[in-house]
Amino acid sequence: MRLLIAFILPWLTFFTIGRPFAGLFCLLLQLTVLGWIPATIWAVYALSQFKTDQKIRQALGR
């Protein structure tokens, strides 16, 4: 579900993973027509890093 949000509303993805300042910056980037694609790429990348961090925490038992 977060991946779908990352494509439609990239800035909202950052709020769902606990990064509100990045979300605000992404929203400003997304407001420009040329910034929509970089904002989407950034949101998908951040989401993949978030999932990787969660898996590492689980593997370490935290």
Task: Please count the structural domains in the chain.
Answer: 1
Instruction: State the pLDDT at residue 32.
Output: 85
Instruction: State the pLDDT at residue 22.
Output: 92
Please check whether residue 16 lies inside any domain of the structure.
Answer: yes
Please check whether residue 21 lies inside any domain of the structure.
Answer: yes
For every one of its 62 residues, what pLDDT tens digit does the chain have, with 9 covering 90 and above?
A: 888 888 888 889 899 989 999 999 989 988 887 888 888 898 999 999 999 999 999 999 86
CA distances to 7, 60, 61 from 45, in Å = 11, 23, 25
Instruction: State the pLDDT at residue 62.
Output: 64
Range of the domain at 30: 2-52
Q: Is 11 exposed, middle or buried (0-12, 13-18, 19+ CB in 10 A)?
A: buried
Please check whether residue 59 lies inside any domain of the structure.
Answer: no
Q: Which residues contact 21 (CB under 8 A, 6 or more apart)?
A: none
Please check whether residue 62 lies inside any domain of the structure.
Answer: no
Rounded Cα distance between 59 and 55, Å, is 6
Please check whether residue 38 lies inside any domain of the structure.
Answer: yes
